[in-house]
Each structure stands twice: as structure tokens, then as C-alpha cells.
Amino acid sequence: MLEPNNITRKALIVVGLFLCQHGLAQIPKLSSDQELAQSIFKELIEINTTHSMGDCTPAAEAMAKRLREGGFDEKDIVIIGPFARNKNMIARLHGSGKQPPILFLAHLDVVEAKPEDWSYNPFKLTETNGYFYGRGSLDVKSGAAILVANFIRLKKAGFVPDRDLILALTAGEESADDYDGVEWLVQKHRSLIDASFCVNMDAGEPQRKGGKRILRPVQVSEKGNFYLTLEVKNPGGHSSQPTKNNAIYRLADGLVRMQAFDFPVQFSDVTKSYFTTMSSLETGLLEADMKAVVQNNPDTAVVNRLATFPYYNALMRSTCITTVVDAGNSVNALPQSAKATINCRLLPGVTQEEAEKTVVRVLNDTGIHVSVRMELKSGPASPVSEEIISKVEIVTKKLWPGIPVLPVMGVGASDGKYLRAAGMPTYGISGVFLDVDDFRMHARDERIRVDDFYEGLEYNYEIIKAFSK
């Protein structure tokens, strides 16, 4: 064997340093289960399922193929929907029938993503610096991939649950207007998804703050969601002869009044419990404010300080926010129309009529016409089941010891609202951590940590088994 000379030794040292600095020297080998989950995740991310240019049907068909290759019979897999585009996939793992079925849910569609706005191609799974990047990596193709991988794992292991396990991967959750897969299934094909309760991967994300894992939420309720259109019409005219009655300015004045308005603060037992528990994880003024805000008639200064945090503000009150503006018809003409879309997220118990009247009052302008673009979608809170919570606590203690389990209200919207409205208790129990300091859901460069994906895979696997044996 030849001894390396000084030049060779130096070269080896340089190569070694390069490998260490770039994380290549000690790349842990993935297990076969992790490789399966990662390949499914990659396949889903790289199928465009946006509503403008994409289609969920190829994603549904790809996941059905994965399940067939994993041992599922053709008769236990259904691809269904009212249109050729954006169909849903339903699969069933048969159990002993001792207990009624459980539904496991994730959606396949994603919000829009312009490649030119991203640091990486949003429709390619990119792994770099300990993160997976891609549209849907957090919301919620990671959850869909985890469910498919774990159903295959259970099938190959010969696991016989004490009840049927139903997997639903659906379309339309991110659509603001027309078709929603879960709503359609509830109305037209309830038997395919009928279950004693649902585990929703699109809610209840475990939370990390300041680099530390702090909470295992279980979403038991969520805000209602509806849309308003505000419109100002005007005769228009030539831009060389402007008038004070400008449709854009008039609408803008109303929107500024909306910006300055806050709905009143309201608390439920669930949100009071959240702030009480979170106060024990905080220090200083934030700890004191969280303890004080749940008392009767909390001080305005306390509320205002907490409201500077968007998430805490959304927990405390309903919100109506401008999301889209469309105005004008030509660069050299006075605008004949100015429109804005308002997205309202209402606390449980607040009605659409109440919120609409409030918006009209705040606008304080009869020249701004208010109409409903999409009716309120909401459902009652699911019961805080001791059986559900205790099993989540057992799995959490096993895999993530020391993290509290807490029922929460979701401030966003998910397909859980349709199931709850149809009488099916639904619990948001995602296994992939959300970083509250780096919230990129629906944003550019959406990402999750690589290790969180693989740990979420195991967490969900244990949850499925805990609920079905």
C-alpha cells in the first residue's frame, strides 16, 4: 500500500473539511420507510395541483398506484369527483369491525406559487440546509405523503386494526369559490368516508418557537370562513379631466376605515385554556399578559399588546381583511369600477349577518356596495374527548416527552368544518412541526424541516395504531 505524500494528505484534509462544512460527511442513511415517504412526498410536490394551472386528478391517481403497489386491492381504492379535473382518492384498510371506522384526511390542492418569486422551483422538492422546500411542503402534501406511506406500511406489516381505516386525499380545499371535495363527498358519497371521527392532517400542527418545541395542539374547532365583495361604480371619463368622485379613492377610503377597525375580543373555554397553558411557557410581560387576558374584562393595554402578535390576535377576535383589489379599466381613463375582496374569519358563534352588518357600518358609505361572494362555512366544535386526548398524550409522551397536549381552536379554515357540520367529530392532529417564528404557509419559499418530516412520519404511524387497536 502506498503512503500518501504531503500533497495528497493536504488534498484529503481539504476534501474532508468541504464535506463536513456542506453536511456531506455524515449523511444518515434513510430507512426503507423513510425512503418510501420521501419518494411519495417528492412525487406529490412535483405534480402541480394549483387551481389555475394544475389538477389534483393526476395526484390522486399517483397515490392510488402507490397503494396498489403496496398491496391494496383495486376494490378498496376509489378515485371520484364530479369533474375530470380535481378528483379525490378514497382508500380503505379493512379491520376487524369491532369499532366504527376512522377517517384520515389531507388535501391535495395547493395555493398559487409563482416560480419567479421563489428561491427554488416551488413544484420541485428541494432539500437543502436541513429543509424541504416546495409548494405544499407544509400545507399539506407532507401530511398526505405521510398518510399514504403509513397505510402502505400497515398493509405490508399485516396489521389488522380493530376498525376500518379510511384514507381520503381530496381536492378543492384551497378554492374560495366553487368545488370542495370533502363538501361534495359529504353531500353525495357519505358512505365512502363515514366514520366515528376524523383525524385531519391539515390542522393542529405541533408548534416550535425560538427553536424549541413547545406544544402539541389538537384542533377541536376552527373559525368560520366567508367572503365579501366591495364595489364602487362610477361613470368614468377621460383622465385629463379628473373629478373628486373617483371610484378607486372612494373604495380606498372605505378600506382604510376597515384597516383601523377591530372586532371585539371574545374567549371560549378552549382559547382561555390555550392562553393559560402558554403563559406557563413564557416569561416576563408576555407571561403576565397571557394570564391577565383570560380574566373577566381584561385591560385594554393587555389586549393591545397581545394583539401585536397576529396569531394571538386571531385567537381573540373575528377578523375581516382585504385580500384582493381590482380597479380601473385603462391607464388613461377614470376608473368606472373598483372592487375588493374581503375574507372574514369568524369566531364560533359569530354569524355571517352580524359580520356583514359590521362591515357595512365601518365602511360608512352607501356608495360602496357590499355583496356576499361565498357564504359562511362553519361547523360546531368537536367534543374534547378524553379518549382521544389521552391517546394523543401517550404517543406524544413516547416520542416527544415534555411537550403539553392542548385542545385548540384553529384560526384558519380547513375541510374539518364540513365534517363537523355533518356531525362527524374532527380533530386536527398533524405530526409536522410549524415554526411560529417562520410561518410560511401560503407564502414564498414554503418549507419544513427534514427531520420534522421523518419524525412526523413515525408520530402519525403511532397515532394510527393507538386509535385502532
For 121-169, write each residue's pLDDT tens digit: 999 999 999 999 999 999 999 999 999 999 999 999 999 999 999 999 9
Indicate if the pLDDT at residue 9 is higher than 90. Answer: no
> Which domains does the chain carry?
32-222+380-467 (3.40.630.10), 224-377 (3.30.70.360)
C-beta separation of 296 from 272 below 8 A: no
Residues 253-302 have pLDDT tens digits of 999 999 999 999 999 999 999 999 999 989 999 999 999 999 999 999 99
pLDDT of amino acid 19: 47
Q: 276: Cβ–Cβ under 8 A, 6 or more apart, which residues?
A: 290, 291, 294
Report d(CA 306, CA 285) in Å as an integer.
Answer: 10
| Omega within 30 of 0 (cis) for the link into 140 | yes
- Comparing 253 with 22, the larger pLDDT belongs to 253
The pLDDT of residue 20 is above 80: no
Confidence at residue 455, expressed as pLDDT on a 0 to 100 scale: 97
pLDDT of residue 175: 82
pLDDT at 412: 86
Query: 455, 456, 453, 450: which is closest to 129 by C-alpha?
Result: 450
Higher pLDDT, 6 or 105: 105
Check pLDDT > 90 for residue 336: yes
Helix (H, G, I), strand (E, B) or coil at 457: helix
Residue 17 CB burial class (10 angstroms; 0-12, 13-18, ≥19): exposed
Using the predicted structure, report yes or no on whether residue 103 has a pLDDT greater than 50.
Answer: yes
> How much is the pLDDT for 15?
46
Cβ burial, residue 241 (10 Å; 0-12/13-18/19+) = exposed
Mean pLDDT of the chain: 93
Residue spans of alpha helices (H) in 226-351: 247-260, 269-279, 284-293, 300-307, 310-316
pLDDT (tens digit, 9 = 90+) per residue, 341-369?
999 999 999 999 999 999 999 999 999 99
Residue appearing with cell numbers 463536513: 20
pLDDT value at position 3?
A: 45
Q: Are 147 and 461 in contact (CB under 8 A)?
A: no
Specify whether the CB–CB gap between 305 and 293 falls below 8 A: no
- pLDDT in the model for residue 2: 42
Give per-residue burial for 148-170: e unless 16+ CB within 10 Å, then b.
bbbbbbbbeeebebebbbbbbbb
Angstrom distance (rounded) from CA 333 to CA 331: 6
Task: Give the SS3 label for residue 377.
Answer: strand
**pLDDT of 12:** 46
pTM higher than 0.85, yes or no? yes
Check residues 294 and 23 and name the one with the higher pLDDT.
294
The pLDDT score that the predictor gives to residue 212 is 93
User: By CB neighbour count within 10 A (0-12 exposed, 13-18 middle, 19+ buried), where does 32 fall?
Assistant: exposed
Instruction: Name 385's Cβ contacts closer than 8 Å, sequence gap at least 6.
Output: 197, 425, 427
Helix (H) or strand (E) holding 333, with range, is strand 333-334
According to the model, what pLDDT value does residue 413 have?
Answer: 86
Going by pLDDT thresholds of 50, 70 and 90, the confidence category of residue 7 is very low
Mean pLDDT, to the nearest integer, of 219-248?
Answer: 95
Question: Given this model, what pLDDT does residue 79 score?
Answer: 98
CB neighbourhood size of 466 (10 A): 15
What is the predicted pLDDT for the residue at 231? 98
Whether 311 and 436 have beta carbons less than 8 Å apart is answered as yes
Q: How far apart are CA 182 and CA 265, in angstroms?
A: 31
pLDDT band (50, 70, 90) for residue 176: low
Residue 177, pLDDT score: 65
* pLDDT at residue 432 tops 70: yes
pLDDT of residue 4: 47
Q: C-alpha grid cell for residue 351?
A: 354569524
Judged against a pLDDT cut of 80, whether residue 55 lies above it is answered with yes
At 167, phi and psi to the nearest 5?
-110, 125
Binned at pLDDT 50, 70 and 90, residue 201 comes out as very high
Mean pLDDT to the nearest integer, 13-20: 48
Q: What 3-state DSSP class applies to 126?
A: strand
Reply yes or no on whether the pLDDT at 10 is more than 70: no
Task: Please determine, for residue 25, whether its predicted confidence score (pLDDT) is greater than 60.
Answer: no
pLDDT value at position 408? 96
Q: Which residue has the cell 402519525?
A: 460
